[in-house]
Structure 1
Amino acid sequence: MPPKTQLDRLAITLMVLFCTLWGVQQAAIKIAAAGISPLWQAGLRSVGALVLVYAWTLVRRVPLFRADGTLVPGLLAGLLFSIEFALIFAGLAYTSASRGVIFLYTAPFFVALGAVWLLPQERMRRAQWIGMGLAFLGVLALFGENLVGSPGEAWKGDLLIFLAAMFWAASTLTIKATTLVRASAEKTLLYQLAVSAVALPPLAVAFGEPGVFAPSAAVWASLAFQIVVVASASYVGWFWLVRHYPATRLASFSFLTPVMGVLAGALLLSEPLTPAVFAALGLVGLGIWVANRPTAD
């Protein structure tokens, strides 16, 4: 399939599906955190997904071990992926799933900034910059609510997940700007899962985490959802999209995920929907529309 310059119906349909799953993922992480400590949960997630995706490549006979120049960028992408999810899981120990998903999806803003230097063929239109800016203002409004109106340590979680967004953007740009762009989606994902599966459990031990301390049906179901649906199926689909469609257009469309994440937090975790959350969602939604509407420039 040759690279596309626009998002077609297939890409839009997949992005809506994936954004819904990724929004629910934040709530699933919070539910599983009731019985598994953060870095252990992230590590178990990568180990389980690594097994499933590798089995998938065997069934489909996807070549993985050819000398194609992807080893170094693959290991780099894996390292960035590991840091990203270590920060996400640690951050959600402090902040809510609703807030966390909004901060995480500042990543498209950083993808757009990096693309100026690394992906000159994916020129950003003026409308895309305006849309990104509107969405980013929404995130800033949400962060300000914690700094001035909410006591406690929620701002720490917000900051950790904001940093995770930067590493997610760096991972996306690494894939688009290196030989990984020619690799299969499965191979790209396996680099990330393999590095994180090796790195995260020892990191959890180093930080003295208790591991699985209160297993329950809800905890295991949430972890299984993350492994099978999110980290395996949806991530293979995401890397396929990154390979074939413009990263900046995919990234701006993925701002839909915060909407799904806030709804999942309210429905599954009874998290409060404050005025700042609604304001952030409004600005994010407006940013999506502005960035993706047909325009002459």
Structure 2
Amino acid sequence: MAPSRDGLSESRYINQPRQPQYGGMSSHRKPADGFALATMVVLCAIWGMQQVAVKLAAPHIPTMMQMAVRSGLGALLVGLLCWARGERGLLRHGPWRPGLLVGVLFASEFLFVGEGLRHTHASHMGVFLYTAPVFAALGLHWLVPSERLRRTQWLGIAVAFSGIALAFGGGWLRGGISPGVLWGDALGLLAGLAWGATTVVIRVSSLSDAPPTQTLLYQLVGGVALLLPVALLTGQAGPISMAPVAWASLLFQGVIVCFASYLTWFWLLRRYLASNLSVFSFMTPLFGVSAGIFVLKEEADLSFALGAVLVLTGILIVSGSGLLRTTPALKPGAT
């Protein structure tokens, strides 16, 4: 689960933390080296573990409350960092209209994630959430002339949607999946749609030129501002039992994921070619599925496993196509 995140000129939509498109350093970016690869492996493992962390803490803290607290903790840390850097008034003086929209979309994404994890498996959520670059690709195709999809990318989208249909329909037709799990899977897909929409808004608005911390703040503040009332209104604000696993999960989600990992991602995007980094994005759902199976002992339904392979293959085709491009996009361009 991650915010939209930067997507620079060599890549259309990168399926990692919501990336603000921060310009000005394109001439200094270089191909990914061993350090970048090792860092991406660590980041993808962290992002893939998010759903598992939520599930582990769910008996102690309701999932919706976890979504609100992690956003609030992340916003606090990013705000303190901005204050220490002398970056004051980022929310007041920034592009507040698109900022408000990405805040609502970010909150919607994690509302779907939090509610979905009450019904489905973490491994399922890890796959459906990461359909975001497919939705981002479709949105950018219609809104940004320089982001028109090529034949290979249409193929990737077709493969991904075939995988979604198989993952949904296979178990349902055999009667092997409960309606609750299917509902959770559908919410995971809606979360991916919200994430993809966030990427599109950032790409086509003035947020594309905003500092990463500003766009990240809009999302995190929007998350806590909307998710906390939802948790209160739906009875998911408690009861809370702060067992060690609950503390560990919240610190992992708020400090490691929402703060440290996203800032590390932005740091990489300012120094390395985004197209080189985007090709590693498929590792995140792989880590998520593996963690769900080995940590939570979730069972891997055959139809879901085959569908997941198709989804990940489609994502890899769509997101990795930037490596084959001869002309970069005009502007930075998921999630």
**TM-score normalised by length of structure 1:** 0.87
- Structure 1: distance between partners of 2:145 and 2:258: 30
Q: Which residue of 2 is the match for residue 169 of structure 1?
A: 196
Counterparts of residues 238-257 of structure 1 (less than 5 Å): 238=265, 254-257=281-284
Report the CA distance between 1:246 and its aligned residue.
9.6
- 2:140 is aligned with 1:115: yes
Q: Show the counterpart of 2:332.
A: none
3-state SS in 2 of match to 1:9? coil
Q: Kindly state the Cα deviation for residue 28 of structure 1 after the two structures are TM-superposed.
A: 0.6
Q: After superposition, what is the alpha-carbon deviation per residue over 1:70-116, rounded to whole angstroms, capped at 9, x for unaligned?
A: 11110110011011101101100000000111111111111010011
Of the candidates 202, 205, 225, which is equivalent to residue 252 of structure 2?
A: 225
Asked whether 1:215 is paired with 2:242, we answer: yes
Residue 286 of structure 1 corresponds to: 313
Task: Select between 47-56 and 240-249 the one with higher mean Cα deviation.
Answer: 240-249
1:88 aligned residue: 113
Q: How far does residue 68 in structure 1 lie from its aligned partner after superposition?
A: 5.8
| 1:106 matches 2:131 | yes
Cα distance per residue 1:25-73 (max 9 Å; x no partner)? 0101111111111221111111111111111222333354387651111
For 1:51, the equivalent position in structure 2 comes to: 76
- Which residue in the other structure is 1:4 paired with? 9
Structure 2: stretches of 5+ with no match in the other structure? 1-6, 15-30, 327-335
Work out whether 1:143 is the aligned partner of 2:143: no
Equivalent position amino acid for 1:70 in 2:
P
Aligned residues: 297
Alignment gaps of 5+ in structure 1:
none
TM-score normalised by L of structure 2: 0.78
- Relative to total residues, which structure has the larger helix share, 1 or 2? 1
1:183 aligns with 2:210: yes
The CA distance in 1 between the partners of 2:133 and 2:277, in whole Å, is 8
1:266 aligns with 2:293: yes
- Evaluate the alpha carbon distance shift between residue 250 and residue 88 of structure 1 in structure 2; reply closer, same or farther with a 3 A threshold: farther
State whether residues 181 and 243 of structure 1, in contact with CA within 8 Å, keep that contact through their aligned partners in structure 2: no
Distance in 2 (CA, whole Å) between partners of 1:173 and 1:243 is 20
- CA deviations over 1:216-248 (Å, ceiling 9, x no partner): 111210111000111112233456778999999
Q: Is the 8 A contact 1:189 1:236 kept in 2?
A: no
Percentage of identical aligned residues? 39
Contact 2:282 2:315 in 1 (8 A): yes
| Equivalent in the alignment of 1:129 | 154
Distance 1:195 1:289 in 2: 30
Change in 2 beyond 3 A, CA 1:179/1:210: closer
Query: 65, 73, 84: which one pairs with 1:40?
Result: 65
How many angstroms apart in 1 are the aligned matches of 2:316 and 2:244?
A: 40
